[in-house]
Structure 1
Amino acid sequence: MRKILIILSEYGYWGEELVGPLETFDAAGYQVDFATPTGKRPVALPPSMDPTFVDPPLGRTVVSEEMAEKVKRLEDPKNPRLDNPIILSEWLPDRPYWSAEKFLREMETYNNAIDEVHQDLAQYDALLIVGGSGPIVDLVNNHRVHDLILGFYKLGKPIAAECYGVTCLAFARDLVERKSMIRGKHVTGHCKEYDYLDGTGFVGSDLNMGPPPYPLEYILSDATAPDGEYHGNFGREISVIVDYPFITGRSTADSYTTGQKLVEVLEKGLRRYGW
């Protein structure tokens, strides 16, 4: 049985971006483990459960009645599926400060612990990072998430990411080389035209950041240069790119296709798709 590790934010994931791939993995008979930064049960962003919510950049509703009900069922406290996720802060070590008194010894200890975690990853066939605004807060610049991505990369295993979760791929870098893992690769992600002008928010906070704190399109364009490329595919309903080992989905509408292409990577050897 194949086994997938799914990383979720504790500050709000977009419902369909979990439900789409999860239903696809379930249909394929895969086992799924969930992980969050500190072990809190992940929570869907309220708009992703609201069929009346009109996405401002798209000017239309983006959540169907059927999807809203699916997300609500998954979010129901009586549904134990998202209970007790793997705790990343306990599974992976903290990186020492460069100013630590015994930095060399601490760095050796850190690297030994990371090597052990990477051995643990042999049980998994692929990694998925779910999108939404929450990842901006606790996944994108989380070095434990980066270390997991690097582990899957070194093992040659598929790595999938959606929406703002794709940013984690741009920032996951080996501390020696410091080059983006997606340098020279083809990826998609939230295009500039899809960004909010106002209303970027997070679960557990009344903070309205207005627009997103960074334009993901620009980050991905720079990270993939000089030989790769960012594909926004604005004007196309679906944007999913496979450039092995990476499978990237632009936004909500691409969720099912992202899961389907990951399955095709695992089952049919798919290595390139979407450009």
Structure 2
Amino acid sequence: MSKRILVVLSEYGYWGEELVGPLEVFDARGYRTTFITPFGKRPQALPPSLDSEYIDPPLGRTVTSRDMARRARTLDDSSRLDHPLSLAEMVPERPYYSALNHLRELEDYHRALSAATAELLGAFDALVLVGGSGPLVDLANNERLHEVICAFVTAGKPILAECYGIAALAFARDYDQRTSLLWGKHVTGHPKEYDYKDGTGFVGVEFNMGPPPYPLEYILRDATGPEGAFHGNVGKETSVIVDFPFVTARSTPDSAPAGELLVEVLENGLTRHGW
């Protein structure tokens, strides 16, 4: 029976290769993929990720080959990303504590959340969080997504996260305990050396944020705690870490290898790689 993968994409721009890489691996294995965004809006690739001549400032070189730019543009222009699922429609929103009837609303919330996550867990074998600058805006602190992540972890189902999509893992946590799900885990991610000093942009808004609003490496170092670790692997061409149930990928060239390792997790029970 083919595996079913739920792929989460930002509505403010995903990096082309970070979707194409794992998606082509899944397609080759005959996996079925479904896309979901925060409000069901069609995702779009970040323009630099479709430009083979774009020079990545921290690395001082191009990061997208002509062939990858073509493949990413073909996917982005296709109908495959049309009509994604909506997190807002599928997963309830936790009520404010200032609600007039908070106790009853909280009970309703937990009842609806349990039904929603059970439906998702019954339909999918793994979760994928695609990177790029867009996740900074609508995935990192998305409480609905955090609940889905927690449900997959509790169910022992793997999660692949790339680049700045990994921030959602760092912030996902039990609402009462408030400890990151990454506590004690080994992960990789966008290191400080790879962060922009200027030019962080998004799809759909005319806004240059400058540098990213937070350094992901520092967040991941804090989230993993003294018994876990962040592995930047700066100076190495690729960086993918498996510490079950998480598969984390640093940046664009790690996308396809991360997809391949998720396959190993799903089909061969891989639980550790890269550390």
Smaller-chain TM-score range? Answer: over 0.9
Give the 4+ runs in structure 1 shifted more than 4 A: none
Amino acid at match of 1:92: V
- Rounded to whole Å, the distance in 1 between the matches of 2:123 and 2:95 is 28
Provide the secondary structure at the position in 2 that maps to 1:80. Answer: coil
Q: How do residues 101-140 of structure 1 correspond to structure 2 at under 5 angstroms?
A: 101-120=100-119, 121-140=121-140
Q: How well do the aligned residues superpose, as a CA RMSD in angstroms?
A: 0.6
- Counterpart in 2 of 1:48? 49
Q: Extract unaligned runs of 5+ from structure 1.
A: none
Q: Report the residue type matching 2:193 in the other structure.
A: E
Alignment match, 2:211: 211
Distance 1:103 1:267 in 2: 44
Q: CA offset at residue 57 of structure 1?
A: 0.2
Match of 1:254 in 2: 254
Q: CA deviation at 1:50?
A: 0.2
Q: Distance in 2 between matches of 1:10 and 1:87?
A: 11
Q: How far apart, in 2, do the equivalents of 1:246 and 1:188 lie?
A: 10
CA distance in 2 between counterparts of 1:106 and 1:2 reads 36
Shift of 1:229: 0.4
- Cα deviation digits, residues 147-203 of structure 1 (max 9, x gap): 110110111100110000000000001111110000000000000000000000000
| Structure 2 residue identity aligned to 1:88 | L
Amino acid at match of 1:57: P
Give the whole-Å Cα distance in 2 for the aligned partners of 1:108 and 1:5: 27
Matched, 1:188 2:169: no
Give the structure-2-normalised TM-score.
0.98
What's the counterpart of residue 200 of structure 2? 200
SS of 2:48's equivalent in the other structure is helix
Superimposed CA distance per residue, residues 61-117 of structure 1 (whole angstroms, 9 cap, x where no aligned partner): 0000000111111111xx211011001100000110011111111111111111111
Q: Aligned residues, how many?
A: 273
Question: Aligned partners of 2:270, 2:122: CA distance in 1, in Å?
Answer: 21
Q: Distance in 1 between matches of 2:10 and 2:183?
A: 25
The answer as to whether partners of 2:91 and 2:117 remain within 8 angstroms in 1 is: no
SS at match of 2:80: helix
Structure 2 partner of 1:35: 36
CA distance in 2 between counterparts of 1:89 and 1:172 reads 17
Tell me which residue corresponds to 1:141.
141
TM-score, with structure 1 as normaliser: 0.98
Identical counterparts, % of pairs: 62
Quick one: which amino acid aligns to residue 208 of structure 2?
A: N
